[in-house]
């Protein structure tokens, strides 16, 4: 090899390495920012670094994170689900009603299991309905889930009569408020969901199909992937996870109520987008969503400890979403 060829080869290799380095920097930028923010809050926010506060953060983000994992799959498919907050409320109300009606007949344990299964089935059925409307009538999921957003909240209030329905046995409090090995029990559920969803999205045929459908649905269809079924499956998965999260919240507050998780859908979408999932589909990571959920939880907790106005907290969350979308666009253009 001549000196000129060697120079060209080295230059070519360097040019190939440079984008990879930049891509790596952008890929882990959120993690770096999260560490910096956490360190700053540890110094300036009173009580932030205490064990009790960190455990409260873990408990608070768990319910949000469980739903955000499902939302990641939906948004990767280039769809969206605006009904998850209402679905969480409905799940808690269904559980409370079933427990109240069935405990005298079969005991509290069986009643809680039956109510939980019923709530998850209803949540998945709502996702199936949104998917069917998209597949059969090409109704955007934005519209269908916006309708469900109102309908499910109304159904939850109909079940409870507009009042908290407190029918749970005493032991059920552990599910939402208990601790295992010193850590909140909901955090174990959240981590389990993250690990399962990471495996599904990264190492299974279904996960690869989700990315294919979100990236180019027509190419996915020509490759033999059932596009409508994949989208429906992700919506069903998210509906089921929303119901699971609603069950945990119902245990935490000790009742089923129609006002549970009001506005939660916006936080779920925000965490997903901040974590790097593209609203245009085809791109997103469960790990990124996990970091996005943690980031939102730490920022919210820190602002509360610093006595920042609730209105300013909404401003900050909105700014974070815009910044995350801008960063995503910049990253795409640099590739």
pLDDT 10s digits, 36-95: 888 888 888 888 888 888 888 898 899 999 999 999 999 999 899 999 999 999 999 999
| Per-domain boundaries in the chain | 50-262+278-283
Q: Is the pLDDT of residue 335 over 80?
A: no
What is the helix (H) or strand (E) element at residue 179, kind and residue range? strand 179-180
Cβ atoms 83, 143 nearer than 8 A: no
pLDDT score, position 303: 87
Please state, for a pLDDT cut of 70, what percent of the chain lies above it.
Answer: 89
Q: Is the pLDDT of residue 27 over 80?
A: no
Read off the pLDDT of each residue in 213-223 and give the average, rounded to a whole number: 88
Q: Is the pLDDT of residue 297 over 50?
A: yes
- Listed in sequence order, the residues at least 6 apart from 164 whose beta carbon sits closer than 8 Å to its beta carbon are 253, 255, 256, 257
3-state secondary structure 66-91: HHHHHHHHHHHCCCCCCCHHHHHHHH
pLDDT 10s digits, 10-26: 433 443 444 455 555 55
Give the Å distances, CA to CA, from 105 to 98, 118, 172, 251, 320.
11, 17, 18, 21, 50
pLDDT score, position 38: 86
DSSP string, 11-30: HHHHHHHHHHHHHHHHHTHH
Give the least confident one: 23-32, 253-262, 280-289.
23-32
Read off the pLDDT of each residue in 162-168 and give the average, rounded to a whole number: 86
Q: Is the pLDDT of residue 189 over 60?
A: yes
Give the least confident one: 32-46, 68-82, 189-203, 229-243.
32-46
Read off the pLDDT of each residue in 169-184 and give the average, rounded to a whole number: 87
* Dihedrals phi, psi of 180, to nearest 5 degrees: -130, 125
pTM of the model: 0.87
Q: 268: closest CA among 131, 57, 80, 142?
A: 80
pLDDT averaged over the chain? 85
Give the Å distances, CA to CA, from 12 to 15, 264, 333.
5, 49, 20
Return the higher-pLDDT residue of 308 and 122. Answer: 122
Query: Which residues are paired to 184 by β-bridges?
Result: 179
pLDDT 10s digits, 89-146: 999 999 999 999 888 888 889 999 999 999 999 999 999 999 999 988 888 898 999 9
Q: Is the pLDDT of residue 256 over 60?
A: yes
Give the least confident one: 102-111, 227-236, 305-314.
305-314
CA angle 174, 287, 178 (to 5 degrees): 10
Give the Å distances, CA to CA, from 260 to 31, 58, 88.
30, 19, 7
pLDDT band of residue 5 (cuts 50, 70, 90) is very low
pLDDT score, position 251: 92
Read off the pLDDT of each residue in 140-159 and give the average, rounded to a whole number: 91
């Amino acid at each position: 090899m001549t000196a000129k060829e060697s120079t060209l080869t080295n230059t070519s290799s360097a040019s190939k390495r440079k984008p990879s380095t930049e891509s790596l920097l952008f890929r882990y930028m959120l993690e770096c920012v999260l560490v910096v923010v956490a360190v700053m809050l540890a110094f300036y926010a009173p009580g932030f670094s205490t064990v009790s506060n960190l455990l409260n953060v873990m408990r608070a983000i768990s319910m949000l994170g469980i739903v955000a994992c499902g939302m990641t799959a939906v948004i990767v498919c280039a769809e969206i689900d605006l009904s998850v907050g209402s679905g969480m409320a409905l799940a808690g109300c269904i559980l409370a009603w079933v427990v109240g009606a069935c405990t005298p007949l079969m005991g509290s344990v069986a009643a809680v299991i039956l109510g939980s299964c019923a709530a998850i089935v209803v949540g998945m059925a709502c996702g199936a309905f949104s998917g069917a409307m998209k597949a059969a009538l090409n109704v955007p999921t934005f519209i269908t889930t916006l309708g469900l957003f109102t309908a499910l909240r109304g159904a939850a209030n109909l079940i409870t009569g507009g009042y908290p329905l407190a029918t749970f046995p005493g032991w059920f409090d552990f599910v939402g408020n208990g601790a295992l090995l010193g850590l909140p029990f909901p955090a174990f559920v959240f981590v389990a969901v993250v690990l399962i969803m990471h495996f599904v999205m990264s190492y299974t045929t279904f996960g690869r199909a989700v990315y294919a459908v979100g990236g180019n649905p027509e190419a996915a269809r020509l490759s033999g992937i059932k596009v409508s079924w994949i989208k429906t499956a992700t919506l069903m998965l998210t509906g089921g996870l929303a119901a699971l999260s609603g069950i945990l919240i119902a245990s935490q507050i000790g009742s089923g109520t129609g006002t549970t998780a009001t506005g939660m859908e916006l936080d779920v979408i925000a965490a997903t987008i901040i974590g790097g999932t593209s609203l245009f589909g085809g791109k997103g990571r469960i790990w990124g969503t996990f970091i996005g959920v943690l980031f939102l939880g730490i920022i919210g907790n820190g602002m509360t400890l610093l006595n920042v106005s609730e209105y300013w907290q909404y401003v900050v969350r909105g700014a974070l979403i815009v910044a995350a979308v801008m960063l995503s666009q910049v990253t795409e253009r640099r590739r």
